[in-house]
Chain A
Amino acid sequence: MTTLHLQNIVKRYKSQTVLDDLSLDVANGERLVLFGPSGAGKTVLLRLVAGVIEPDEGRVLIGGEDMTDVDAEHRGVGMAFQNFALFPHMSAFDNIASPLTATRSSKDAITAGVQKVAKLLKIDHVLSHHPKALSNGQKQRTALARALVGSPPLLLLDDPLRNVDAKLRFEMRLELPRLLAAQGATVVYVTQDYKEAMALGDRIAVMSQGRIRQIGTPQQIYNAPADIEIARLFGDPTINLLDVVPQKSGDGVFVELSNVRVRLSDYDGDVSGKSCVLGLRPEAIVFVDASAPGAIPVTVEAETPLNEKTVTLAMTARGREILVSRPAGTPGPTAGPAHIAVNGAQAFLFDKASGRLLPRADMESKRNGEAA
C-alpha cells in the first residue's frame, strides 16, 4: 500500500519551474530520503505534501485520499523544519503539545503524550523553557518531538540535522532510525548530506532541478549512479572522473590509463570507440608494487588522513589527478613516485555527451555464457 502518491506535480514561481512534472510513490512504513543540492526543489516538494504550498498542476494523494485541495490542518501529517520553526512565545511543552491541542485532547492526555515523546527524545527536563533558553540540540529535539507527538502516519522531515553541530548530527544520525522505526510512520526525509541519506533511507530519490533523477536503495545509487552528477554527489572523497575512449580486444573491453590497459569486466563491446567518462571510486584504486600486473606509475602529491581512512592525491604521468582511498593504518606511499592498480570491475562508464551511466553487460547472461 502506498501512503504517499504524487502525480505529475508542477510548481512554478513566476517564470521559474521549481518542480517539473514530478511523480513519486512512497510505500507504507517506508523511509524515503529526498537528496539533492540546494535549489533542487526538495523543500518545496515537502511543503507541497504538507499542504502549505499548492501545486500548479498534479495531485497529492495521502493514504489513498486526494489531498490536493485540502488545507494543511486537515492532512494529518507531522513536519519538522530545517530552521526548527518553534513558536518563540510558547514553552517547549506548549510547542510540543500544539498538535494535541488542535484535536481538543484532554489535559491529561496532552501531558502524557508530551511527556512520553519528550522522554524518548531526552528533553523532558527542559519542557518549561522557552525556545530562547534552549540549546540548538534541544531546539532540534523539540521540533522533532512536535512532529512526532501526534503519531502522524506520514512524517515529513526537512533537513532536521542541518542546523546542529557535527557531534549532535552524528548522535542523531545513529538515534533517528531507531526512533523513526519505533514510530512506525512513513517518512519523507530531506537532506543534502549523502551520508545521512545512506544511513536513513530505505530508498533515496536524488533530485536535481525540479526532477527526480534516480530513485533506488542506497546501494543501488552508490553502485550504479544514473549519471555523472549523482556519482559526484555520492561518495567522500569524490569519485575520480577521467575522460577515456574504451576499446575492444579479444578478451573484452579495456581503457588505457597512462598506456596501461585496464579491463572493464562489466562492459561489452557496445561501448568501444565512444567518448566516455570513467568513474572510479577512490576505494577502487590501490597502491601496488611496480612489478604488479596493471601497475600504473603515479606521483604522490599529498596525503590527508581522515579518521577511518587515508586519502592520497596522486598525479598520473599525463598530469591527471587521482584520489586514492585506503583504510587508515594500512601502509602506503606518502611522497614521490608510486604505482596504482585499478579494479576494473568497480569502474563506471558514463556517456561523455549525455552524462548518463552506460548500461553494463547483463551479468546473468554473461555468467550463463561462461558456464556454457
Chain B
Amino acid sequence: MDTMSPIERALRAVALTLVVVFFMFPIFWIFLMSFQTNETILSIPPSIVFSPTLSNYAALITGKLQTAAGTLDIAFMRNLGNSIFLSVTSVAVALVLGVPAAYAFARHKFKGSEDIAFTLLSFRFAPPLLVLLPLTQYFQWLGLSNTYFGLIWVYQLICLPLILWIVRGYFEDISADVEYAYRIAGHSWFATFRKIALPLAGPGIAAAGLLAFIFAWNNFVFALVLASADKQPVTVGALAFITSSGIQYGQIASAIVLSVTPTLALALYAQRYLVEGLSLGAVKG
C-alpha cells in the first residue's frame, strides 16, 4: 500500500467514490423523497432544494392518507407491527428448531443425514411461486390461511435452511477435542452442547439469525398470497400506496425509510458479532 503512487491513490479514491455513489444514491434519494410532497417529487427537473415536510410520516403514523379523492385509511403501522412480529417469531422458532438440528448434522453422521440436510437446503433453490399454489390450497383446507401461525410456518422455509446450514458450519469448526474434553471431565452431552458448543458458535448463531431476520423481513410473495390486509407485513402493505388517485411516492419513500430502519439498526448492532463470527477459526487448536 505504501508503494502506491499519488496518481494510483487518486484513481483508487475516484473508483471507490463511484461505487459508493452508485449504491448509496438510490437510498439517499429515497431518504430525500420521504420529506417531499408528491408535487415536488414529480416536478421536472427534480431538485435537491425543497422545503422539507413531515406530512408523509404524519400520514403513515396517524394512518390517514390525504389524497385528491379524499381521506384514505392506511394500515402501515399495523403492517410494521406485523413485520416485526412475523420476523422475530419466525427467527425465534427457526433458531429453536435449527440450532439443535445443525448440531446433530455437524456432529453425527447418521445414515441419510447428508440427504436430509440437502433436502432442507433445496427449499431455498425452488422459486417460492413453485410451492405457493399447492400451499395456498393446503392452507385453505387446514384453515391456516390468513393466520399468523400459518405465516410463521411458511416463513420456516426461508429461515430454517439458512440457520441450519450456516450454524452447522460453525459447529463443525469447533474442534471435536474441546467437546470430548468436556465430556471426559464428566459432563453429559447436553451440558456439553449448552456450555461448550452453543457459546463457541454464538457469533455464528447471531449472524445466521440476523440473516434469517432480513430474509424474513424482506419476504413479499408468501405474505401477499397467504395473508389478508390485517396480517400483512410492510413489504405487502406498501402496495396500498398505489391508489386510485395515483401513486403516493412520498409515502412510499417514508414507508421504505421506516421499514428499513429496524433491519439496519439490527445489522449495525450485530456487526461486531458478524466480524467475531468470521474469525471463529481462531479457537481451533
Contact = CB atoms under 8 A, between A and B. Distances in A.
Given A81-B177, A83-B175, A52 B182 contact: no
B285 A84 contact: yes
Interface string B177-204: 1101111111111010000100110000
Interface in A41-84: 47, 50-52, 71-79, 81, 83-84
Contact of B182 (A47, A71, A87, A150): A87
A132 B200 CA distance: 14
Nearest to B196: A87
B183 A73 contact: yes
Interface stretch (A27-35, A97-105, A198-206, A345-353): A97-105
Given A50-B180, A52-B180, A85 B186 contact: no
A85 B200 CA distance: 13
A85 B180 contact: yes
A83 B175 CA distance: 10
A14 to B, nearest CB: 11
A77 B184 CA distance: 7
Interface in A85-135: 85-89, 98-99, 102-103, 132
Contacts of A72: 180, 183-184
Nearest to A79: B184
B283 interface: yes
A281 interface: no
Contacts of B178: 85-88
Given A84-B285, A85-B285, A87-B196, A99 B186 contact: yes
Nearest to A89: B199
Interface string B244-259: 0000000000000000
B187 A73 contact: yes
A11 interface: no
B111 to A, nearest CB: 14
B175 to A, nearest CB: 6
B184 A50 contact: yes
A74 B186 CA distance: 6
Contacts of B183: 51-52, 71-73
A146 interface: yes
Contact of B185 (A83, A84, A89, A99): A99
Nearest to A81: B177
Contacts of B189: 71
Question: Which of B177, B178, B180, B186 has the most chain A CB atoms closer than 10 A to its own CB?
Answer: B186
How big is chain A's contact interface, by range? Answer: 20 to 34
Nearest to A78: B184
Place the interface of chain B in its size category. 20 to 34
B5 to A, nearest CB: 40
A85 B185 contact: no
B187 A98 contact: yes
A89 B196 CA distance: 8
Given A73-B187, A89-B199, A150-B186, A79 B181 contact: yes
Interface string A282-301: 00000000000000000000
A295 B27 CA distance: 93
Contacts of B177: 81, 83, 85
Nearest to B178: A85
Contact of A88 (B182, B184, B283): B283
A193 B11 CA distance: 58
Interface string A230-242: 0000000000000
Most chain A beta-carbon neighbours within 10 Å: one of B175, B184, B187, B196: B184
A310 B189 CA distance: 54
A76 B186 CA distance: 7
Contacts of A103: 186
B181 A81 contact: yes
Contacts of A47: 180
A174 B76 CA distance: 75
Contact of B184 (A51, A83, A86, A132): A51
Contacts of B180: 47, 50, 52, 72, 79, 81, 85
B260 to A, nearest CB: 34
Contacts of B282: 88, 132
A132 B285 CA distance: 11
B186 A73 contact: yes
Q: Which of B177, B181, B191 has the most CB of A within 10 A?
A: B181
Given A50-B180, A81-B181, A102 B187 contact: yes
B184 A89 contact: no
Contact of A73 (B184, B196, B200): B184
A85 B187 contact: no
A102 B185 contact: yes
Nearest to A77: B184
Most buried by B among A74, A81, A103: A81
Contacts of A51: 183-184
Contacts of A87: 178, 181-182, 196
B279 to A, nearest CB: 12
30 contacts: A50-B180, A51-B183, A51-B184, A52-B184, A71-B188, A71-B189, A73-B184, A73-B188, A75-B184, A79-B184, A85-B177, A85-B180, A85-B181, A86-B178, A86-B181, A87-B181, A88-B178, A88-B200, A88-B283, A89-B200, A89-B283, A98-B181, A98-B182, A98-B185, A98-B186, A102-B185, A102-B186, A103-B186, A150-B185, A150-B186
Interface of A: 47, 50-52, 71-79, 81, 83-89, 98-99, 102-103, 132, 146, 150
Interface of B: 175, 177-178, 180-189, 191, 196, 199-200, 282-283, 285
Given A52-B183, A71-B188, A88-B283, 11 more contacts: A47-B180, A72-B183, A73-B187, A77-B184, A79-B184, A83-B285, A85-B175, A86-B181, A99-B185, A146-B181, A146-B185
